[in-house]
Chain A
Amino acid sequence: MKNFVFSLFFGLTVGLVPAAHADLAIFATVPEWGALAKEIGGDKVKVYTATTALQDPHRIEAKPSLLAQARRANLLVATGAELEIGWLPLVQRDSGNAAIQVGQPGYFEAAAQVTRLDVPASVDRSHGDVHAGGNPHIQLDPRNVLKVGEKLAARMAELDPPQAAAYKAGFAAFAGKWQAAMARWEKEAAPLKGVAVLVHHESFSYLFNWLGMRSVGALEPKPGIEPTSGQLTSLLARQPTQPARMVLRAAYQPDGPSAWIAGKAGIPAVLLPFTVGGTPEAKDLVGLFDDTVQRLLKALK
């Protein structure tokens, strides 16, 4: 009986395996890397994006659908720096997919390709849900996107040698387009230099680093802890001495706290797409930055 069960088991396994993938199957944890992989790979890749711009990437669950997708992926593109720590390790382990485990070529960590900001000197939860690897929201600096893209294209070529030339060309085309766009954004965003803002969560550190903006406070008293009335009042009290020009939040964050402080301080509350799909305009990576810059400029007026 037992033997029968096991042979049935293996029989099923072997029988269903030849569902081989013609395309490189990419599992992207967040929309920005899904979009980037699509830019590089075009029709040579099949991209599955695990989350949307309306979901907090810290707090996703290891859903059955994610396991099923991870099982079939050739390449897992994650942000890393502990952003997906609450769910991705479980998805990897329970996927039965040896290719996408940490340390394998099929596991790509975007944050490992760039210099991270806000790396804490000490990791203690009394500071909230801090990430030992630094701030993981690296995608809002277009220079990071370019760096990640270069490494990602190389990784895709390594995993799928027959299409290596296509990935190379795909990245070259993207890089050309991107650098032209970056020049445009930087010119347009010049008035934003030195502008002080409040943020809901420290989601925009890399954006500020790129555009020379300044965060003068977060609505969250500690990373990952929801805004408290105490925190909001103390930020408001600082407004006369350390005025913020606007308060920013990502598409997945609730509007209540930033609307409250915006109303009291008389500054605009700005929703930023944060990633691809966060606003109707942020349809792709270029749209993401176009819209981000436009929304910031509009709030400045």
Chain B
Amino acid sequence: MHKRIAMVAMLAAAFGANAADNSELAAIRAQIDEMKRAYEQRIAALEQKLSQAEARSVAPAPNPAPVAAPSAAGVAPPANAERPQRSSGGASSFNPEVSLILQGQYKQMKDVAERGITGFWPAGGHDHGEGAIEGINKRGFSVDHTELVLAASIDPYWRGQAILAMVDGAVEVEEAWFQSLGIGQGIGLKGGRFRSGIGYLNEQHPHMWDFADAPLMYQAMFGTHGSYANDGVQLKWLAPTETFIELGAEIGRGANFPGTDRNKNGSGAAALFAHVGGDVGVANSWRAGVSYLNTRAKARSAHFAGVSDDEVEGLFDGRSGTWVADFVWKWAPNGNPKYRNFKFQTEYFQRREKGDLTCATPEDAATAVSCDGNTSAYRTRQSGWYAQGVYQFTPNWRAGLRYEQLDSGSRDLGANAASFVVDSYRPKKATAMIDYSWSEFSRVRLQFAHDKSMQGIIDNQVTLQYIMSLGAHGAHKF
């Protein structure tokens, strides 16, 4: 009660003070207005001086023709009244361009203790914090990592971009690179941490995906992150031909799956890629590519089901070679994608791994596993593909279907085959989605997936997802 009286008193006092100050305020306002007027006059004078100076500096340039030659009707443009404005130029009037991607979802799916893809090395990938479940595999409501993008020209020769992914208690540097602008001859040089140019989907961030999750193929190749990023350098060359022909090579640290971080000089991963593309008529455009990624792993660890033990740990030493073939076809009536367009996209991969597998006891196991310390040759050859089509039938609505299949292929574990469960399986998944975009910057998506990526489990998943981007207008790759 006392508190309320005190509050009322305070409010009254505040209003009283307000009333008393009104005349003073008016005086201050008048002063400010006068200052404003004075400044505006000064600015106008300065602007005039500036434009005169500009006109002087422009004048010596060769004037190609006497534009002002008045025509018979005397309709020459009123040149005096219209002073060219300075263009904002570039991608944004901000420097640097800043944009923020907000992404989150509601996901309904089966509760599976250790999600993975049967028959494939558990790629793990990018779990935020200890024991955390990857955002993309969370059940119920969740916010994916929030992406902050900063980009700008550094000087006339270089451009830089950083993409920071923020989740509770952690900021991850997704990408941080510089790119050449001034080399010419079709050469592009990129350095830092970047998404590799291999495949088609690899360079695209999750907010650009046509489905709420990465294809199984990308999850099997690179983990739930669904892409391969490297710390290193990339050199690209675009041929001076009418057909788009782009060749690229990358070397780098190779710390990410299927490689591992190693304390070593030299490069841990290398990639080569070639893309070709063009148009067919005005309505169709396409791009096809083939890429190869070579990585090295040292003690790459994952948990497996054991033959006699519940769980055994496998440590892989060796090299991994991945081929990716990709193809994209886009159609839009008259080449105008705003109202209607169709996109078909497919990729295929094949990975061979060769090296040694060492059996170890998982950290949390009570007793040593029977094969503890055994090392034997490890050789696998696995493959997979996906194909998807997305049709935009109005400026706001799109619908898409995706089908994918992997093949656990041949997995030769040598002597360790007696201790590790080696599944032979063909994971499959079919996905349908429909999304609605209010504008280029906001989208909501409903997705159904029939997921048979885990042997013996049929997981029907429902995802309701939003993707919002604010800030600088980003340009998206083809």
Q: Report Cα–Cα, A16/B245, bound state, in Å.
A: 12
Question: Contact partner of B88 among A81, A104, A179, A254, CB < 8 A?
Answer: A81
Question: Hey, which chain A residues are within 8 Å of B72, CB to CB?
Answer: 180, 183
B89 touches A12 (CB 8 A): no
Query: Quick one: which of B232-248 are within 8 Å of A by CB?
Result: 235-247
As a 0/1 sequence over residues 94 to 121 of chain B, the CB contacts with chain A under 8 angstroms (1 = contact) are: 0000000000000000000000000000
As a 0/1 sequence over residues 50 to 75 of chain A, the CB contacts with chain B under 8 angstroms (1 = contact) are: 01101110111111110111011000
B338 touches A59 (CB 8 A): yes
Stretch of A31-39, A92-100, A233-241, A291-299 with 4 or more beta carbons under 8 angstroms from chain B: A92-100
Q: Report Cα–Cα, A180/B71, bound state, in Å.
A: 6
Known interface pairs A54-B334, A68-B242, A252-B336; A80-B64 also in contact (CB < 8 Å)? no
Asked whether any CB of chain B lies closer than 8 Å to the CB of A150, the reply is yes
Asked whether any CB of chain A lies closer than 8 Å to the CB of B278, the reply is yes
Question: Contact partner of A67 among B88, B238, B267, CB < 8 A?
Answer: B238
Asked whether any CB of chain A lies closer than 8 Å to the CB of B318, the reply is no
Stretch of A122-130, A192-200, A259-267, A279-287 with 4 or more beta carbons under 8 angstroms from chain B: A122-130
The chain A residue with its CB closest to the CB of B272 is A5
A13 touches B277 (CB 8 A): no
Q: Report Cα–Cα, A17/B240, bound state, in Å.
A: 8
Question: Contact partner of B338 among A52, A56, A157, CB < 8 A?
Answer: A56
Question: Contact partner of B87 among A64, A80, A94, A129, CB < 8 A?
Answer: A80
Asked whether any CB of chain B lies closer than 8 Å to the CB of A154, the reply is yes
Asked whether any CB of chain A lies closer than 8 Å to the CB of B452, the reply is no
A179 touches B285 (CB 8 A): no
Q: Residues of A within 8 Å of B, CB-based: how many? A: 87
Q: Chain B nearest CB: distance from A15 CB in Å?
A: 11
Question: Hey, which chain B residues are within 8 Å of A6, CB to CB?
Answer: 235, 249
B478 touches A150 (CB 8 A): no
Q: Report Cα–Cα, A9/B248, bound state, in Å.
A: 9
Q: Chain A nearest CB: distance from B248 CB in Å?
A: 9
Q: Chain A nearest CB: distance from B425 CB in Å?
A: 35
Query: Quick one: which of B423-443 are within 8 Å of A by CB?
Result: 438-441
Majority SS of interface residues in chain B? Answer: loop
Known interface pairs A19-B240, A55-B335, A224-B440; A154-B185 also in contact (CB < 8 Å)? no
A13 touches B88 (CB 8 A): no
Asked whether any CB of chain B lies closer than 8 Å to the CB of A116, the reply is yes
Q: Report Cα–Cα, A224/B186, bound state, in Å.
A: 34
Asked whether any CB of chain A lies closer than 8 Å to the CB of B82, the reply is yes
B238 touches A12 (CB 8 A): no
As a 0/1 sequence over residues 223 to 259 of chain B, the CB contacts with chain A under 8 angstroms (1 = contact) are: 0000000000001111111111111010100000000
Known interface pairs A89-B90, A112-B89; A68-B62 also in contact (CB < 8 Å)? no
Q: Report Cα–Cα, A17/B334, bound state, in Å.
A: 34
B275 touches A98 (CB 8 A): no
B61 touches A154 (CB 8 A): yes
Known interface pairs A59-B337, A132-B93; A64-B182 also in contact (CB < 8 Å)? no
B187 touches A179 (CB 8 A): no
B61 touches A61 (CB 8 A): no
Q: Report Cα–Cα, A2/B65, bound state, in Å.
A: 56
Instruction: Select the residue from A63, A94, A96 with max chain B CB neighbours within 10 A.
Output: A96
Question: Hey, which chain B residues are within 8 Å of A254, CB to CB?
Answer: 339
Known interface pairs A64-B478, A102-B153; A94-B62 also in contact (CB < 8 Å)? no
Asked whether any CB of chain A lies closer than 8 Å to the CB of B73, the reply is yes
Q: Chain A nearest CB: distance from B275 CB in Å?
A: 7
Q: Report Cα–Cα, A203/B337, bound state, in Å.
A: 18
As a 0/1 sequence over residues 271 to 291 of chain A, the CB contacts with chain B under 8 angstroms (1 = contact) are: 000000000000000000000
Stretch of B25-33, B351-359, B404-412, B469-477 with 4 or more beta carbons under 8 angstroms from chain A: B469-477
Chain B contacts to A: CB under 8 angstroms: 61-67, 69, 71-73, 75-77, 82-93, 153, 156, 159, 179, 181-188, 235-247, 249, 251, 267, 270, 272, 275-279, 282, 285-287, 330, 334-339, 394-396, 438-441, 470, 473-478
A-B contact pairs, 23 of them (CB 8 A): A6-B249, A9-B235, A52-B335, A54-B334, A54-B336, A62-B475, A69-B242, A80-B87, A86-B473, A88-B475, A89-B90, A95-B186, A96-B185, A98-B182, A101-B156, A103-B156, A115-B85, A125-B439, A125-B470, A154-B63, A175-B65, A175-B69, A186-B75
Listed from nearest, the 8 A-B pairs whose CB atoms lie closest are: A64-B277, A64-B244, A112-B87, A98-B184, A183-B73, A96-B186, A143-B77, A172-B65
6 further interface pairs, Cβ-Cβ under 8 Å (given A64-B285, A68-B245, A89-B475): A13-B186, A68-B244, A82-B88, A101-B182, A112-B86, A134-B85
